[in-house]
Structure 1
């Protein structure tokens, strides 16, 4: 009985040491991955990287992590025409392979959400354009309201614009219809050049592609997914 008790105590101690070592190692790996992700995407703030699952060490031995989550805030996406700030970005990465002492991380697949406020969309819009919530729709389209002061018109002109993904990395705001006062004068193209615009969302992980957009009273959510997504390199 004494021997059995000693063996049990040893097993418990070893188990505790393993758990401690596992948690210390995972924190080191998360911190290094976050630092590399910040450098890779040139982010102003270090993102939060969370390696899910336990134990971490056995996942490392298998050569692949089941699930890694990344969250970043205040991402300034400069497209050369202006800065489109991304308020927040959250992504789940699956089947993540780390290499080079956790300096490089590539996921088999990933899905995420980028959130943009109307205030930031307004800053990225053409001069004089204000972007706000367009309300719910029955046809599933994502609409926002664009308001602008047009020369020669006393009151502001407002239109509902559809927000859509037009390239793997860009969103477009295009007016559904234009005021009859302008269409009657054949000014459609001129007005569209002033209010329709496209902006890319940069500084997101390489391999991520935008897929869809939904609107809320506070801003728009842009869904994304991808294969062979690079978290850090």
Structure 2
């Protein structure tokens, strides 16, 4: 009678099934941790967005709903450490009152880096949330700038990397179209527009006509008062683009939960 031996492959198959099951369990647990991490981040993002809305209201500014994103992964590790790599805030359709006029900023992006906030502050909403550095980039529409200049028919646009102006004028009874570009600088937190070289085809070649054109250039050369920027941002650069006048600002050691 032949002696029966256990199948050699059976323990291997059983061990392989256990290994596969263990790997599947780890993947499920990892997936649950990722979901929990993202849920926690979402709660924090909504809380920060609500604080930003409140601060904008204090500044008498309007905007669309803020969109907040907390960078870095995993989020829960950052909570335990009380240190966050990056918090990005996007504001759209920002409008702020400036000396009776309105400046439109279709989009303002703010990046806060190396943000410190204790676990107790995140949980209670009390305490300081401080960013080591904050950078902001926004776009001011040319239409709102033109309204501040208050010259009928005046239009601003980007041309070859410069801020260009076109406007109808009446000089010595002659209707002309003025063209030119502006020098752009940042002056004491304001955008300085200086129109130094304006031309007008058909301008009478007499001194009074040239003086009137020069005076017109001076009248539209102003320091543009921008709305107060959130997060203590200080204007440092301005650049004309096809979409509008792009402004860049920054700040250091900023309490971002009291943006005013």
Partner residue of 1:125 out of 149, 172, 196: 149
Q: Post-superposition shift, 1:63? A: 1.1
Inter-partner Cα distance in structure 1 for 2:130 and 2:168: 44
Q: What is the match of residue 28 of structure 1?
A: 43
Matches within 5 A, 1:66-145: 66-98=85-117, 100-101=121-122, 103=125, 105-128=129-152, 130-136=154-160, 142-145=162-165
Q: Which residue of 2 aligns with 1:172?
A: 192
Specify whether residues 16 and 85 from structure 1 end up closer, same or farther in structure 2 by C-alpha distance, changes over 3 A only.
same
Larger Rg: 2
Q: Structure 1's 126 and 193: CA in aligned 2 closer, same or farther, altered over 3 A?
A: farther
Q: 1:63 aligns with which of 49, 59, 82?
A: 82
TM-score, normalisation: structure 1: 0.81
Which residue number in structure 1 is paired with residue 7 of structure 2? none
Q: Measure how far apart 1:216 and its partner are.
A: 1.9
Is it true that 1:207 corresponds to 2:222 in the alignment?
no
How many residues of Structure 1 are paired with residues of Structure 2 in the alignment?
Answer: 228
Cα 1:161–1:81 change in 2 (3 A) is: farther
Segments of structure 2 that go 5 or more residues without pairing to the other structure are 1-14
RMSD: 3.1
Contact 2:113 2:134 in 1 (8 A): yes
> Are 1:74 and 1:87, in contact at CA under 8 Å, matched by a contact in 2?
yes
Higher relative contact order (CA 8 A, sep 6+): 1
Whole-Å Cα distance in 1 between the matches of residues 246 and 219 of structure 2? Answer: 24
Whole-Å separation in 1 of the counterparts to 2:164 and 2:254: 30
User: Shift of the alpha carbon at 1:148?
Assistant: 4.3
Q: 5+ residue gaps in structure 1?
A: none
1:47–1:72: 8 Å Cα contact kept in structure 2?
A: yes
Q: CA deviation at 1:184?
A: 3.5
Query: Shift of the alpha carbon at 1:23?
Result: 0.8
